[in-house]
A and B are shown apart, each in its own frame.
Chain A
Amino acid sequence: MRPVKRFVSRLKWPAVLGILTVALSGCGNYFSSRASVLAPAGPVASRELSLIQISLYIMLVIFVVVMGLWGFALIRYRARRNDTSAVSASTGDTRLEILWTVVPLLIVIYLTVLTVQTEFYLTRRPNPTTSLQVSVTGHQFFWQFDYPGLGISTIHNLYIPVGEKVNLTLTSADVIHSFWVPELAGKTDAIPGYHTYMWLEASRAGSYFGECAQFCGVGHYNMHMTVIALPPAQFQTWVKSMQKKGAASGTAWALERGPLPVSS
């Protein structure tokens, strides 16, 4: 029991921050999942996570300062028996009020700069001649991927080469959906009547779980996909085999219908 108490008494803010850092970096059973924002596998998700982390740390400092003032006021100024002293007659303090207007303003300006930089980085579309183009169509309740330059279509599975930027053009065949592969990139909505754009890149080979994030009807909970990132050579092999399959069936398009990932 005693060592536990000693541990608790030694628990200081750096330690708490440390624990949170470990938690946020994806270690530990209680902070990992099949599709975690905290375990990025590409530059887009990494940039997004670092923005999340920086803002979280700044916000934690603010939280500690505000809660410190709050806790101090609650304890120090609680009404006590037999205390006949007068309450403070203060009705305001211009210097203090300027301070707690200007400091948050400066923090917000700093966060704004980070936000705008990241926003422009993430929405800058890769050069269409050097990057893979994929058209994504949301359906109730599955995802369809068309590779217009390659004559390939897939359902449920999006194949991409590792280390290359993939340019996605999204739309929907029915209602609004939202394309989300947490380990690779944040969301973009697929909206009927519109084309929206995003790009993503996988830094290492693997399969990444993806979901529809915008409520789209009774099958919304089960509208999943898998992004399969292959090393470039293997990706080329896959493209060739698909095209051969298409030629064999006498159509210009080869369709692969993958298994629906994770049925509940």
Chain B
Amino acid sequence: MAAIAEVVGTEPRRHSQSYLMGWLTTADHKRIGIMYLLAATFFFAVGGLEALMIRIQLSSPGNTFVTPALYDQLFTMHGTTMIFLAVMPLFIGFINCIVPLQIGARDVAFPRLNALSLWLFVLGGILLNSSWFLGGAPNAGWFNYAPISLTPFNPGPGIDFYDIGLQLAGIGTLMTGVNFIATIINMRAPGMSLMRMPLFTWTTFITSVLILFAFPPFTVNLFLLMFDRLMGANFFNIAKGGNVLLWQHLFWIFGHPEVYILILPAFGIISEVIATFSRKTLFGYDSMVLATIAIGFLAFTVWVHHMFVDGFGPYVNSLFAITTMAIAVPTGVKIFNWIFTMWGGKIKFTTAMLFATGFIPLFVIGGISGVMLAMAPADFQYNDSYFVVAHLHYVLIGGSLMGVLAGAYYWFPKITGRLLNETLGKWHFWLLMIGFNVTFFPMHFLGLLGMPRRVATYSAAMGQAVAFWNLVATIGAFILAISFLFFFYNLFKTLRSGEQAGPDPWDARALEWAISSPAPVYNFAKTPLVRGRDAWWVEKTEGDGHLRSAEPEADPHEEHAHHGIHMPTGSIYPFLIALGLMIAGYGAIFGLLLLVAIGLVLAFFSIHRMIVDEDPGEIVQPVGGDGE
């Protein structure tokens, strides 16, 4: 963090504040974004190590590298960590760092709420992972179906860690959704009409709407489970009139939109990167926006395709098969639009572009197997087999993670001011492509050969082929892991001695590239006037290469006296609210009512202070003319 602070140390620091307090109290969207990225990268590494242990265990039949009980914890924590604590917060990190810049804003609509989102995610994630040391990690899968998650079948505290940890992180995510809806609707610079917004901002907007509607059912579900486990309620207890399918419905009403929360931002990043490095404006912008909205809407109509084998009968299954397959149409539109953005362009294969173009075949494979899975009667065979494991990793690694990495190579210079090493980047890309496909393509075969998911081991009697493809997948997983060593080394090396990027190293198109790298704390010295799609490109090609100001020209003699920039000040209370809730969470898990009381008092006191404390703001003087 020290190395990053050197290059991002743009926030004016009050003398009374220590370095640590500067980060704990910050409300700056760029610093919050960086902390999201750092924490999520850490959790990504943890989830990756869990995956390697899973692959070692499955490398040969009847292996005893881990016990079945430990294996169940590993696959549960791998899935939960990667989805909630790695990929989603990586996107939220980029959203925080970039979206306010892309729309010409000074910060998000609610800067302190943004800090609260961050700390709820970080502390919720720490609470969830601390389960490893406090009685055992959750072991009922990331989907955590009732009744195996209930006390009679799962008396240890693991499921409570899942429940409380994801409540904390989930509320944080929900507030991020609210924050970015408000930010994108209200804080766009003059001239930035909705249909001029960069695609990443558009997908962030739709993602935020999905978060707003998808996370409440999940939170409700977690509360019901908490009532059942900690307070003796019976929502899922069939002996007392409860219903186990209630969990499944509420979970997938959240869970499927969650998949699109994990992919739409990637679509946005791919759109930015492909347009930039093809040196063309995005092909079919309008249809890209419409397709994003259509996918967002359809996302809420397909959840039962996760439950095709629940025996709901042909009418229900047919309906949800149709809605699911319908999603293929807007998704296909996007794929063709990306290809035709490259068509007729001059493609420059930077590492960011390699990840963006490599995204296409992998995501198409994931999309194809998605359509196959949507055919309910075929899904009777695929369901809960390794075929699904293959599919979901093609979508989540081949889709989401490739988007994250394209974004990482593309925006790293904007976030830190330094360019990631391209040679190391290309090693990362090619090793990842090989390792990924060697790991996950054979899993299609494994599913068809009858290997169910979540088995701690398999018998040699299943046949030579099952053992063979499992070994191949394990070898691939290590290649994949090695590719990330190149990436982490690249991050480390670049932060210490990377090449200075300058404001616009890629000759790019959106507004974030018009200001210095890293962006000054106030972002734009003067709120820019947006004169077209690809707002910065317009100024470079049709204007004089400088942003127009949307603010009235002031008398130059008076400017310094009266026209500083009003910025929000930081606050420690968002951190204390999250800390209080975390303490209360531990109290609830271990039945220590005093701890619950202490935590809740701290949280409510801090909420109260955050509400009544006036934020006087700070006046910051911009450095240069138009922020460069």
Contacts and interface: CB of A to CB of B under 8 A. Distances in A.
B241 to A, nearest CB: 9
B449 A62 contact: no
Interface string A29-55: 111111111100000010111011001
B342 A33 contact: no
A194 B245 contact: yes
* Interface of B, helix, strand, loop or mixed by DSSP: helix
Interface string B466-497: 10110000000000000000000000000000
A180 B452 contact: yes
Contacts of B325: 108, 111-112, 115
Interface string A83-115: 100011011110011001100110010011011
B459 interface: yes
Contacts of A194: 245, 311
B462 A119 contact: no
Assign chain B's interface to a size class: 35 or more
Interface string A207-221: 001011111111111
Interface stretch (A8-16, A72-80, A147-155, A240-248): A72-80
Contacts of B349: 78
B622 interface: no
Contact of A96 (B313, B340, B383): B340
B133 interface: no
Contacts of B238: 192-193
Given A112-B321, A175-B147, A186-B381, A37 B333 contact: no
A42 to B, nearest CB: 13
Interface in B381-411: 381, 383-385
Output the residue of A93, A198, A209, A214 with the most chain B CB within 10 A.
A214
A77 B381 contact: no
Contacts of B361: 67, 70
Interface string B366-391: 00110110111111110111000000
A56 interface: yes
A100 B452 contact: no
Contacts of B445: 30-31
Assign chain A's interface to a size class: 35 or more
B171 interface: no
Interface stretch (B275-283, B416-424, B595-603): B275-283
B311 A189 contact: yes
Given A37-B381, A217-B148, A264-B61, A70 B321 contact: no
Contact of A198 (B311, B340, B346, B457): B311
Nearest to B387: A37
A176 B145 contact: yes
Contacts of A193: 238, 243-244
Interface of B: 61-62, 68-69, 72, 140-141, 145, 147-148, 153, 238, 243-245, 278-287, 309-311, 313-314, 317-318, 321-322, 325-326, 328-329, 332-333, 335-337, 339-340, 342-349, 357, 360-361, 364-365, 368-369, 371-372, 374-381, 383-385, 445, 447-459, 461-466, 468-469
Which 3 pairs from chain A and chain B are nearest by CB? A186-B380, A88-B344, A196-B311
